[in-house]
Every structure is written in structure tokens, then in C-alpha cells.
């Protein structure tokens, strides 16, 4: 049983969501060391969202009872992880307080650093409040599941089709591979997301699942700004760093709109920024990711 999940609740989860919860349930070896596994459905290197989610859960579990909730994370990706080997998450404790706490987590394989992340925890106390408005898009119930967007493109985006799909994704605009055929260039991306089934009540797991999902579509706006597509154009992308700010508590087994855009691409790098809105328009989290991204035009 993961995080208090009952048999009745688990029965309506997708198999891929069960796998994600198992991935997030990192094994505690001692107070400052946790072990994370890879799923059977892997790509050439460890998925960045997996590192974010597992690292976040590891740091959260290293806190004492009554500790403040997660406020933000700032991660750097050092090298591609070996998907055939487990990951060691080493925790460094910088501060423990009633209102604030700080941790650094470093993922290692064979003595080499794969990924490092600073995680901050802070009480959510009342203060000034404002936020941008949620973009106007169709509701998720009126949009097709991502599996319908794969139809006819199974070979084009084979890596995406074969990937783990614990998140129910409903695009409010065409995904890159379908947009390519229209000749459209789009400087933003809108997609509703939630886990493919109910989650345990543990807020840390909801944050871990959101962190996992935050690495899925955040770079799309970089390439659609130039009319390019994954799987069709010759592109190389690798995350350099990734940050998330958690503004309010949320449940990730309820729909959130992930609204992303790309403010800049320069020096073979691009930035994707995004916001997660609850269905009522409340801003739950903000994301910024920088990635190495290269386009190789066809030879004339």
C-alpha cells in the first residue's frame, strides 16, 4: 500500500499510474539515502520528470513531523542517467525549522552525479495575493485523450507512444506532430493534466506527480514557435535546469491546466515557462525549464 492507498482506490487506477506511485515510493536506506528505480518503459536516458519526482519525495520524507510544505525546487541535470541501474538519492540537510527547511538532493550512479536539486520548504501564511488569469480554453471533458492524437502517428512519435502514461493529458491545441501538418506556428501550449486515476491523500505525492508531469510538454512551445515537431524534424533536446514554485495546495488527481510558452531561445538553449491552474482559475504552481535544444535542417 503506497501512501495510505486502499485496495478499492487502487482498483480504479491505470497500470501506468500504479507504476508512477511505485517510482515515487523511493526506498529509504538510511536517514539521508534513498533508492529510486526505473520503470520498464524507458527512453535512452532517465526521464527528467522521474528525477524531479523521486528527488522531491526523498527530500520531503527526510523532514521531521510537522515540517512545512514544499515551497520550491531548483534542479540541475548533470548527465544522462543509466536506465538499467537504480538511482541513489543522497540528502544534505541545510536547515530544519518550524517555518522553513532546506534540503539538497543529489542523484548518483556508479559514483557519478546525475542530477542535483535544492528543495525549500516554507509555511503558507496569509499575505498579499494576486495572480494572472487562467487562459480561456475548452474544458478537459470536451477534449480527446492523448491516445487519439497518436492515431496515425505511431511510428512518427514512437518514443512517446511507448512511454509511460500515468498522466491523463488533454491538449487544448494540436500537439506538435499534428500541428506540423497545418503549417501553423504557435508560441504557446495548453494542456489539461491529472493523474490517470485517484491518488493517495499525501500532498507530497501530489507534488511529486506534478513535478513528474512538468517535464512533459514544457519545451513544446520552443519548437512550435518555429513550426517544428518532435518525431518529424531532426531535433535534439536535453534539460539543463528546471525550477518549480508551489503556490497553493492542490490535488493532482483533479484537472489542472498546464499553460506554457517560450520567452526566448538563444545560444542553442531555449526556455519554456509554464503555469498550473486549478479548474476554478487558481494558480497552483509555476515552472521554468531551460534546455539544450538543437535543430538540424534537412540538407538541400
215 is catalytic: yes
Q: Going by C-beta distance under 8 Å and a sequence separation of 6 or more, which residues neighbour residue 93?
A: 32, 62, 102, 103
CA nearest to 176, candidates 130, 142, 227 = 227
C-alpha count within 13 angstroms, C-beta hemisphere, residue 194: 18
Cα 57 from Cα 53, distance rounded (Å): 6
Residue position matching grid coordinates 518525431: 231
Cα 279 from Cα 257, distance rounded (Å): 7
Cα 165 from Cα 12, distance rounded (Å): 15
Which of 215, 217, 253, 260 is catalytic? The answer is 215
Question: Three-state DSSP class for 188?
Answer: strand
Which of 13, 59, 109, 239 is catalytic? The answer is 239
Cα 238 from Cα 243, distance rounded (Å): 15
| CB of 247 closer than 8 Å to CB of 284 | yes
| CB of 286 closer than 8 Å to CB of 245 | yes
CA nearest to 33, candidates 90, 85, 83, 82 = 90
Cα 53 from Cα 254, distance rounded (Å): 18
Could you tell me the three cell numbers for 153? 502517428
| CB of 165 closer than 8 Å to CB of 184 | no
Could you tell me the three cell numbers for 162? 511507448
Cα 116 from Cα 33, distance rounded (Å): 14
Could you tell me the three cell numbers for 44? 535512452
Which of 176, 216, 224, 289 is catalytic? The answer is 289
The residues annotated as belonging to the active site are: 215, 239, 289
Amino acid at each position: 500500500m503506497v501512501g495510505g492507498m486502499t485496495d478499492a482506490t487502487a482498483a480504479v487506477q491505470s497500470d501506468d499510474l500504479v507504476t508512477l506511485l511505485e517510482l515515487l515510493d523511493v526506498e529509504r536506506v538510511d536517514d539521508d539515502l534513498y533508492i529510486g528505480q526505473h520503470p520498464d518503459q524507458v527512453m535512452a536516458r532517465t526521464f527528467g520528470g522521474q528525477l524531479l519526482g523521486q528527488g522531491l519525495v526523498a527530500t520531503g520524507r527526510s523532514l521531521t513531523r510537522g515540517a512545512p510544505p514544499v515551497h520550491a525546487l531548483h534542479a540541475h541535470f548533470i548527465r544522462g542517467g543509466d536506465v538499467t541501474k537504480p538511482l541513489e538519492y543522497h540528502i544534505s540537510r541545510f536547515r530544519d525549522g518550524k517555518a522553513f527547511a532546506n534540503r539538497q538532493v543529489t542523484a548518483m550512479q556508479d559514483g557519478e552525479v546525475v542530477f542535483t536539486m535544492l528543495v525549500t520548504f516554507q509555511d503558507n501564511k496569509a499575505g498579499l495575493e494576486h495572480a494572472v488569469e487562467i487562459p480561456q480554453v475548452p474544458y478537459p471533458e470536451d477534449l480527446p485523450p492523448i491516445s487519439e492524437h497518436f492515431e496515425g502517428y505511431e511510428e512518427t512519435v514512437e518514443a512517446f507512444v511507448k512511454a509511460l502514461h500515468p498522466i491523463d493529458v488533454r491538449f487544448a491545441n494540436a500537439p506538435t506532430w499534428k500541428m506540423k501538418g497545418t503549417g501553423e506556428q504557435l508560441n504557446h501550449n495548453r494542456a489539461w493534466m491529472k493523474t490517470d486515476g485517484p491518488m493517495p491523500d499525501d500532498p507530497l505525492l501530489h507534488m511529486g506527480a506534478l513535478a513528474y508531469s512538468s517535464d512533459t510538454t514544457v519545451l513544446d512551445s520552443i519548437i512550435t514557435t518555429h513550426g517544428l515537431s518532435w518525431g518529424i524534424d531532426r531535433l535534439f533536446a536535453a534539460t539543463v535546469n528546471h525550477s518549480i514554485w508551489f503556490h497553493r495546495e492542490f490535488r493532482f488527481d483533479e484537472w489542472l491546466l498546464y499553460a506554457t510558452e517560450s520567452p526566448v531561445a538563444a545560444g542553442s538553449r531555449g526556455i519554456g515557462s509554464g503555469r498550473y491552474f486549478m479548474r476554478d482559475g487558481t494558480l497552483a504552481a509555476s515552472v521554468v525549464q531551460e534546455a539544450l535544444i538543437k535543430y538540424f535542417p534537412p540538407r538541400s
